[in-house]
Amino acid sequence: MRELSRRQAIIGLGAFTLVLAGCGEDEAPKKAAETSANKAGAMANYAAGQQFKATEPVSFDVLYNNHPFYPLKDDWLFWQELTKRTNVTLKPVAVPLSDYEKKRGLLVGSGQAPLIIPKTYHPQEEAFVASGAILPISDYVDLMPNFKDKVAKWQMEPDLDTLRVADGRYYLLPGLHEEVWVDYTLAVRTDILEKLNLEVPTTWEELYTVLKAMKQEYPDLYPMTDRWGVPTPGGNLLKLVAQAYGTKGGWEYQHATWDAAAGKFAYTGAMPQYKQMLEYLNKLVKEKLLDPESFTQQDEQAKQKFNSGKSFVISTNAQTLINDYRPTLSKLVPKAKIAKIPVPMGPIGDYKIGTRLENGVMISKKALENKNFVAMMQFVDWLWYSDAGEEFAKWGVEGTTFSKDASGNYKIADDVDFVGLNPDASKHLQKDFGFSNGVFAYGGTTKLLESTFSEEELEFQKVMNARKAWPLEPPHPFSDEEREQATLWETPLKDYVTQQTLKFILGERDLSEWDAYVKELEGKNMTSYMNLVNGAYERFKKDHG
């Protein structure tokens, strides 16, 4: 008995310690603090388009996502030239790409995060909002003339609204693209098209006809097999087809989709458009045009089928076309030709759908107390948002790593390689110089983005850019309690929708049972969930609209 009580005492003491440790500082967020005490090193008249240079040497810690393809090197020209141009020395805290998110959470949670925290994908930053460790950056964008300039010039306020949380602020400085940039689509064997006298399909219905014709010629094969089915079944395919019908699926599945006609959000998995998407895909599977394994197989298997000529259509992006398909396919099926086709269109017409926001930068709240705070914001503004900064991060130093002709076209230096532009060169833009680094180089003008694209990719972009951008959805940010409730409902809903989506597509459940399926969703709190979403939307519109 005596021993037991001692044991209990130990456990009790331990639990108490745990409780103590759990209580962090619960400081109320300070409103836009004084910024006169933290102006050391800042330029007095920093403006858009101007070169930033700190008035005294300063240094900032930056969380660094270390990519195995171009591992961090201290002697990169990037670091040296950056210091030369801006008087800023960046001190990277190297984190392996494999576990970047984990370490970032740990560092922010323990208050040890560097001041600058790049490579954050919305909505990851929302997890840190409640802790108060992250600066509500929207209160400080006045310090960032280039950012404001681009937002105004490209009319990106509605885009930024999608980042706002319930208090009306946003906590992430996103990368800004001038235009919606579409990369993922389908790759098609054009030599088969030519052989069968078929045109490149421009709509999903035409794709159906093309697949049917292929099936007629090759009755033993599935004309289309797909990759990117794990872990999200039909990640890319469902995404593209759903978009064409005006809903969301695959990688981009979200529970709520804006219904402009009704002026409110509808539950995505129960929308009539979602049903149409299922009908279309079910038709492909039923007629054996689409390999049913597409939704469960590993990428390796899909690639193998496509590359050995057992299938003619597969999902792709610009890189996989060059890296995954063309080299092997050309060896195994020497006559094969493939092309990335413009994303097929559906009932909604010639729209391109995507976001103009890229992953972005969070700033630690403790930066406010740093005497160089203003200089740091100006520096971030210059490096990530000025034309000169973006060009520097992507292309490097003119005369050393690249040159520019009179009309502003970029050309890589002869002894430097990047994305296969100079395969025989001895040095590599990313590995040896540190430019075009995913941590610093993204976003910017379409001209800059396309400056590294191949001819065929430019063709693809030309077609896609001629399409209109699909209008953005209005924001509906949850409060903390609402988000907690929403998460509880979302997981079972999502699991059920994913599961039933596959059953409908593969024909295990007949689409005549659609109404029953919608009822089952209601049993999983779909209606309560939508009330929450639409309530949040109304409230945000009233308070901040």
Residues contributing to the site for another protein (CB under 8 A): 3, 6-7, 10-11, 14-15, 17-18, 21, 66-72, 93-99, 102-103, 106, 109-112, 121, 183-184, 228, 232, 235, 251, 299-301, 303-304, 307-308, 317, 319-320, 323-324, 327-328, 331-332, 358-359, 394, 419, 430, 436-438, 441-442, 449, 452
CB of 109 vs another protein, minimal distance in Å = 5
CB of 70 vs another protein, minimal distance in Å = 8
Is 294 or 452 the residue whose CB approaches another protein more closely?
A: 452
> Which residue is it, tokens 């052989």?
195
Q: How many angstroms separate the CA atoms of 105 and 194, rounded?
A: 53
CB of 224 vs another protein, minimal distance in Å = 19
CB of 366 vs another protein, minimal distance in Å = 15
Is 300 or 369 the residue whose CB approaches another protein more closely?
A: 300
- Residue 291: which of 213, 207, 225 has the closest Cα? 225
Is 434 or 475 the residue whose CB approaches another protein more closely?
A: 434
Helix (H) or strand (E) holding 341: strand 338-341
| Burial grade of 376 (CB within 10 A; 0-12, 13-18, 19 or more) | buried
Q: How many angstroms separate the CA atoms of 545 and 529, rounded?
A: 22
Is 74 or 157 the residue whose CB approaches another protein more closely?
A: 74
Is 184 or 265 the residue whose CB approaches another protein more closely?
A: 184
CB of 300 vs another protein, minimal distance in Å = 6
Is 146 or 436 the residue whose CB approaches another protein more closely?
A: 436
Q: What angle do CA 160, 166, 168 make, to 5 degrees?
A: 50
- Residue 30: which of 109, 176, 133 has the closest Cα? 133
Q: What are phi and psi of 110, to 5 degrees?
A: -95, 5
Helix (H) or strand (E) holding 49: none
> Which residue is it, tokens 């101007």?
50
Is 111 or 471 the residue whose CB approaches another protein more closely?
A: 111
Is 228 or 514 the residue whose CB approaches another protein more closely?
A: 228
Is 275 or 394 the residue whose CB approaches another protein more closely?
A: 394
Q: Which two tokens stand for residue 227?
A: 């990759």
CB of 127 vs another protein, minimal distance in Å = 13
CB of 432 vs another protein, minimal distance in Å = 13
Q: What angle do CA 203, 205, 209 make, to 5 degrees?
A: 115
CB of 24 vs another protein, minimal distance in Å = 9
| Burial grade of 394 (CB within 10 A; 0-12, 13-18, 19 or more) | buried
Q: Which residues pair with 339 in a beta bridge?
A: 188
CB of 443 vs another protein, minimal distance in Å = 9
Interstrand relation of 338-341 and 185-189 (parallel, antiparallel or unpaired):
antiparallel
Helix (H) or strand (E) holding 175: strand 173-176
Whole-Å CA distances, 530 to 243, 269, 533, 540: 21, 12, 5, 15
Q: Which amino acid does the sequence have at 112? A: Q
Q: Which residues pair with 427 in a beta bridge?
A: 416
